């Protein structure tokens, strides 16, 4: 899989449902659902306790995820970095949602994700 052969829209079409799942699972603090599309490397980092801690912190401070708008895709042969504009229910202003998408063992997986 060469991500450079895909259009930005094709990549957003792949990444959006994965990010939707991540954000819903994060809101629910559902570890099994949250790591569904993670690489093994990411699964090793995001333990149930880690997810619980991170989610409780951001939900207390910012609320839950709201609108997300596509901004950009950065492509290289083996991965794509996807950037969205993100809002929260309690925090004012705009935040950045970011995902590094890879293709492993016949599926698209997340090897990094963050909202800041």
pLDDT digits (tens, 9 = 90+) for 35-53: 999 999 999 999 999 999 9
pLDDT digits (tens, 9 = 90+) for 14-41: 999 999 999 999 999 999 999 999 999 9
In the 3-class helix/strand/coil scheme, how is the chain assigned residue by residue?
Answer: CCHHHCCHHHHHHHHHHHHHHHHHHHHHCCHHHHCCCECHHHHHHCCHHHHHHHHHHHHHHHCCEEEEEEEEEEEECCEEEEEEEEEECCCCCCEEEEEEEEEECCEEEEEEEEEC
109: containing domain: 3-115
> For residue 23, what is the domain's CATH number?
3.10.450.50
How many domains in the chain? 1
Q: Whole-model pTM? A: 0.94
């Amino acid at each position: 899989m060469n991500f450079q052969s895909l259009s930005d829209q094709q990549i957003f079409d792949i990444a959006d449902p994965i990010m939707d799942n991540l954000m819903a699972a994060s809101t629910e603090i559902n570890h099994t659902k949250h790591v569904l599309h993670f690489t093994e490397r990411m699964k090793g980092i995001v333990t149930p306790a880690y997810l619980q801690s991170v989610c409780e912190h951001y939900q207390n401070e910012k609320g839950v995820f709201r609108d997300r708008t596509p901004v950009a895709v950065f492509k290289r042969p083996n991965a794509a970095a996807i950037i969205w504009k993100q809002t929260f229910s309690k925090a004012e202003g705009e935040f950045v949602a970011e995902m590094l998408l890879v293709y492993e063992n016949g599926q698209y997986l997340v090897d990094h994700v963050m909202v800041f």
